[in-house]
């Protein structure tokens, strides 16, 4: 059977949700879909459940077991054995709509796309998160520039020229052409969280054809013990430091046009923004623990401070000891702005 889509599902101790996730892949209206289940050192029974699916569906389910190394290592391992024409990275507690892969493959194939962005809706079985479901209701809905094919670099510039929302960084919001991923060679940075920040930006930057569609094709689960709700300040700071320095290294070591250099500096601001935001939300113990890490990478960031927005500049001045905390006043999102000369 020719595999049209490889759906890569890294998982760690999600026995309560994994079956729903896998079933949403295997019951797709497009039958030529494989599920690659990458066990990141689970010990709650989800590893056994994955093996059960592998035995039951040997032609459609592949299972990898590894020691606990994080989602990046798991995703890269899954990508290494993927056989599909396209690749999707699905979180192990989320679900695909039944027609998702058929719709995405038809659209991507007909237009020769490298990356196809799509919309998602949130849900939760936890009544304590009912308010969060309401507040995140429209967060993953694409409303602008739908149905327009453009190259990735221009799409990034257009996004920062016109949009006042969060950059859609998540890998689970995209269908990738596997040949394109092999050609561009971008991988998830290992050993940190916020790995989508690096992978998402550089794959989009290198893409020749991307498109955004408004169709809701994925159900995003909110749960209190997920990475979204349980991440620690130090983990976030280390993740943003990693992706920021990778981006700055690329800027400083690559011959770029003035426009591309400006684009990348504009994008780099979001990593500084989130570092400041998480620091301000943390308690004193967490702040003391992570402050040396923040200071170490701010030394590289100060060079680009004048390119950043006023709120982020104020935050950087706070870290430099030049401004009190109560004068930072960050907005809800990093409203980055790319202005053409």
- Establish if 91 belongs to a structural domain: yes
Residue after which a domain boundary falls, among 195, 223, 251: 223
DSSP assignment of 170-224, as one string? -GGGEEEEHHHHHHH---PPTTSS-HHHHHHHHHHHH-S-EEEEEEEEEEEE--T
Kindly state the tokens that stand for 149.
């094919």
Q: Do the strands 115-123 and 174-177 form a parallel or antiparallel pair, or are they unpaired?
A: antiparallel
Same domain, 42 and 175: yes
- Establish if 333 belongs to a structural domain: no
For 111, 133, 175, 178, the CA distances from 203, given in Å and listed in that order, are 18, 29, 11, 11
Bridge partners, residue 174, by sequence: 117
Domains contained in the chain, number:
2
CA 54/CA 64 separation, integer angstroms: 10
Same domain, 35 and 148: yes
- Establish if 98 belongs to a structural domain: yes
Same domain, 214 and 66: yes
Torsion angle, alpha carbons of 270, 271, 272, 278, to 10: 100
Residue after which a domain boundary falls, among 193, 223, 253: 223
Exposed, middle or buried, 99 (CB in 10 Å: 0-12/13-18/19+)?
A: middle
Same domain, 192 and 274: no
- Measured in residues, the chain has a length of 341
Full domain range(s) for residue 269: 231-327
Query: Does 338 have pLDDT greater than 60?
Result: no
Kindly state the tokens that stand for 331.
């907005």
Please state the rounded mean pLDDT for residues 280-286: 92
Same domain, 253 and 114: no
Query: Does 158 have pLDDT greater than 50?
Result: yes
What is the reported pLDDT for 107?
98
Please state the rounded mean pLDDT for residues 205-228: 89
Lowest mean pLDDT among 116-120, 145-149, 247-251: 145-149
Same domain, 125 and 207: yes
Quick one: what percent of the chain has pLDDT higher than 70? 94
Same domain, 172 and 285: no
Residue with tokens 């996004």: 159
Same domain, 285 and 308: yes
More confident residue, 125 or 341: 125
Same domain, 181 and 273: no
What is the reported pLDDT for 139?
82
- Establish if 335 belongs to a structural domain: no
What is the reported pLDDT for 140?
86
Spatial contact of 256 and 211, defined as CB atoms under 8 Å apart? no
Please state the rounded mean pLDDT for residues 9-28: 97
- Establish if 337 belongs to a structural domain: no
Same domain, 252 and 107: no
pLDDT tens digits, residue range 284-321? 999 999 999 999 999 999 999 999 989 999 999 999 99
Query: Does 146 have pLDDT greater than 60?
Result: yes
- Establish if 340 belongs to a structural domain: no
What is the reported pLDDT for 121?
94
Query: Does 167 have pLDDT greater than 80?
Result: no
What is the reported pLDDT for 340?
41
| Sequence-ordered list of residues with C-beta below 8 angstroms from that of 215, at least 6 positions apart, any chain | 103, 118, 119
Query: Does 96 have pLDDT greater than 70?
Result: yes
**Which strand (E) or helix (H) includes residue 292?**
helix 284-301
Please state the rounded mean pLDDT for residues 73-93: 98
pTM of the model: 0.93
Query: Does 22 have pLDDT greater than 90?
Result: yes
Same domain, 51 and 175: yes
- Establish if 31 belongs to a structural domain: yes
What is the reported pLDDT for 188?
97
CA 279/CA 295 separation, integer angstroms: 12
CATH number of domain containing 59: 3.90.550.10
Residue after which a domain boundary falls, among 223, 242, 272: 223
pLDDT tens digits, residue range 184-195? 999 999 999 999
Chain mean pLDDT for the chain = 91
What is the reported pLDDT for 166?
61
- Establish if 157 belongs to a structural domain: yes
pLDDT tens digits, residue range 220-274? 998 877 655 556 889 999 999 999 999 999 999 999 999 999 999 999 999 999 9
What is the reported pLDDT for 341?
45
| Sequence-ordered list of residues with C-beta below 8 angstroms from that of 49, at least 6 positions apart, any chain | 15, 18, 19
Please state the rounded mean pLDDT for residues 97-111: 98
Same domain, 70 and 218: yes
């Amino acid at each position: 059977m020719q595999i049209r889509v490889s759906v890569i599902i890294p998982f760690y101790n999600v026995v309560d949700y994994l079956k729903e996730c896998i079933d949403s892949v295997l019951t797709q209206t497009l039958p030529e879909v494989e599920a690659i289940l990458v066990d990141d050192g689970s010990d709650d029974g989800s590893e056994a459940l994955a093996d059960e699916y592998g035995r039951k569906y040997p032609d459609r389910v592949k299972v990898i077991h590894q020691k606990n190394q994080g989602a990046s290592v798991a995703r890269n391992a899954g990508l290494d054995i993927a056989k599909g024409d396209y690749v999707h990275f699905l979180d192990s507690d989320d679900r695909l709509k039944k027609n998702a892969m058929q719709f995405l493959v038809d659209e991507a194939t007909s237009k020769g796309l490298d990356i196809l962005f799509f919309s998602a809706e949130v849900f939760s079985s936890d009544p304590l998160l009912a308010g969060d479901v309401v507040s995140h209701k429209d967060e993953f809905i694409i409303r602008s520039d739908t149905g327009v094919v453009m190259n990735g670099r221009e799409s990034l510039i257009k996004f920062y020229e016109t949009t006042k929302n969060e950059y859609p960084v998540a890998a689970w919001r995209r269908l990738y052409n596997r040949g394109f991923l092999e050609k561009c060679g971008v991988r998830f940075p290992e050993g940190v969280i916020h790995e989508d920040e690096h992978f998402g930006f550089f794959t989009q930057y290198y893409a020749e054809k991307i498109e955004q569609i408004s169709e809701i094709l994925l159900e995003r689960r909110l749960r209190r013990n997920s990475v979204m709700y349980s991440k620690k300040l130090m983990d976030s700071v280390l993740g943003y430091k990693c992706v920021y320095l990778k981006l700055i290294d690329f800027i400083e070591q690559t011959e770029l046009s003035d426009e591309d250099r400006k684009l990348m500096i504009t994008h780099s601001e979001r990593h500084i923004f989130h570092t400041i935001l998480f620091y301000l939300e943390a308690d004193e113990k967490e702040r003391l623990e992570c402050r040396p890490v923040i200071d170490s990478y701010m030394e590289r960031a100060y060079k680009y401070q004048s390119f950043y927005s006023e709120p982020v500049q104020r935050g950087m001045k706070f870290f430099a000891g030049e401004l009190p905390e109560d004068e930072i006043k960050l907005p809800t999102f990093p409203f980055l702005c790319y202005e053409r000369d």
